[in-house]
Chains A and B, each alone.
Chain A
Amino acid sequence: MIALAASGPVIPTFGGGTSAFACERANRLFCPDWVSHNWGTVLWPALRQHVVLTLIAVSIGFVISTSLALIAYRRRWVERPVLIVTSILYTIPSLALFELLEPIPGLGLSRTTAEVALVSYTLLIMFRNTLTGLREVPADVRDAAAGMGMGPMQSLLRVELPLALPAIIAGVRIATVTVISLATVASLIDNEGLGAPILSAISNEVFKTELIVAGGMAVGLALAADGLLVITQRLLTPWTRAGGT
């Protein structure tokens, strides 16, 4: 009876222990009504933005770091400078990096600024993993490929890159989880993604439900993305599960 009365009326009946916003006012840990009211307007759009932010950052980072790794694979001297630069980028605290980028003309408080920062955090991990994966291709396998008449490009595409795939995908996994986590901080700059509701939840006095739900969604997204990549790896590298005799 009470539940029916509470959900039914068009005009919320403020006051009284069972009214609509009692949970919010009491700032309990989890208010399901708040979630269902704000899902379509706040949470779902934020999740979608977060996914887009992550996809763009990881994709661009993948292209850059893989290109650099391929160059360093052929020309050893490239490795050190790339490692130095990407390590510096990786160690800059994210807040500081956003503040550094913001004054640059053309960047400002935009999604571009957020993406530049996010991409820069993916480079070290994916560069190092891809390069290690390529270098760990057994010498006899490379020798056999060349000895049977594969050119350098054929050997790379048909033998070396496929064998480096487990390491490459491992790098993508770490980079993806890192970006999903850092993209919440990037909301300071572009005010989108799951960081936006988190920031609004902690802006005045902490609104627990919003903080917990948005934060939980970020964690869930990271877990889901990681799981998806694990499945991708299993599909792409069936030989890694072919056990010995």
Chain B
Amino acid sequence: MPNDRTAQSEGPSPFPPAEAGAGSSTRGHGERSVSPATLELRNVSKRYPGQREPAIAELSFSVGAGEVCVLVGPSGSGKTTAMRLINRMIALTSGDILLGGRSVLEREPHELRREIGYVIQQIGLFPHQTVTDNIATVPRLLGWDKSRTTSRVEELLELIGMDPREIGPRYPAQLSGGQRQRVGVARALAADPPLMLMDEPFGAIDPINRHRLQDEFLRLQAQVRKTVVFVTHDIDEAIKMGDKIAILRQGGHLAQYDTPAEILTNPADEFVAEFVGADRALKRLGLTTLQDIELAAPNGIEPDGQPLKLTTTVRDALSRVLAAGGRPQAVVDDNGKVEGLVTLELVGGLLGSDAFEHPDHSEPAP
């Protein structure tokens, strides 16, 4: 980049601060959208004074611009600590963290944090401020003028499906848990940060609403394309949300860092295999939808009951086949035309074959 970055510049990966074109051209929304930033952790360690074992040990991984990286692991694995090192809510002991190619250690912590969206499990909305004022927090800290802030708040409320006039003047106490959560995400997105940190953002929500919010976030992410670091203890959530998953074990060691499909197919060791669960074959099936696999020939079978749709996951399709006593189930397209069949043999063959490549589930659906 034109402005030299002191001694740091001869590092192995001279990322430009924001990888132009990585997502900005495909977005077509908001003229002032900031490109997502790459994130790289280099041998990051955190040791608390008076403790023999480090909380984070030599953690290294990098997240591509616009990717969702999920930090997952049992409690005590340091996943939240690792996340909070990135925006310097916790000071690291050694190593370095590069955001958009630039060390976060060079930055003034308060300025750095205004560039990083921050969502926590308890959300932390300001109870004394209206939804509008809550969302306007970072724009105001950045000194945006009034009209720009107002229009940004309205834009965000609409983005999360809320009426600015109805919800904007409310206080957090007047919102449901799910609404509060959405407002928390909108607040974090307010200044269009190139990176979002999310610490168990859906952890306090009931299962039904959690799935809704997860889907909603993935839709939102497809629109805004942020680089996201997402912390959870729930491997299913990690598989669903992540482009990449970093599995941490006790003491902040990185057990495996890979795509969900790769982790499910080739767990690096016993710990990972156990952590992802004995049903990892089923979880793999959950990453693939029927439109991505070759279905069995229809053989003239008419769909009985509720036919499967192409957007159904293979896992759910298998469940339906099993529920039907193993009988093949028909799959129909949007117009109700039978596309093919799902059979037990078909699914078994998929899992058995080495060639079962998992398409990255986060790719935009056709």
Contacts and interface: CB of A to CB of B under 8 A. Distances in A.
Interface of A: 138, 140-151, 154, 159, 162-163, 165, 237-239, 242-245
Given A147-B120, A148-B114, A148-B138, A242 B89 contact: no
Contacts of A243: 173-174
Contact of A144 (B110, B120, B141): B120
Contacts of A146: 89, 113
Contact of B127 (A141, A145, A147): A141
A150 B110 contact: yes
Contacts of B128: 159, 162-163, 165, 237, 239
Q: How large is the interface on B (under 10, 10 to 19, 20 to 34, 35 or more residues)?
A: 20 to 34
A144 B125 contact: yes
B176 interface: yes
B127 A163 contact: yes
B141 A154 contact: yes
Given A242-B171, A245-B174, A148 B137 contact: yes
Contacts of B174: 242-245
A150 B120 contact: no
Interface in B126-141: 126-129, 137-138, 141
Contacts of B112: 149
Given A242-B170, A242-B171, A245-B176, A150 B125 contact: no
Given A150-B141, A244-B173, A244-B174, A143 B120 contact: yes
Interface of B: 87, 89, 110-115, 118, 120-129, 137-138, 141, 170-171, 173-176, 187-188, 197
A149 B170 contact: no
9 contacts: A140-B120, A143-B124, A144-B118, A145-B124, A147-B113, A148-B138, A165-B128, A239-B171, A242-B174
Please indicate which of the listed interface residues A141, A238, A243 has the most CB atoms of chain B within 10 Å of its own CB: A141
Contacts of B176: 245
Q: Which 9 residue pairs of A and B lie closest in terms of their CB atoms, listed nearest first?
A: A144-B124, A149-B114, A140-B122, A149-B113, A147-B118, A242-B171, A140-B124, A239-B171, A239-B128
B305 to A, nearest CB: 39
B199 to A, nearest CB: 9
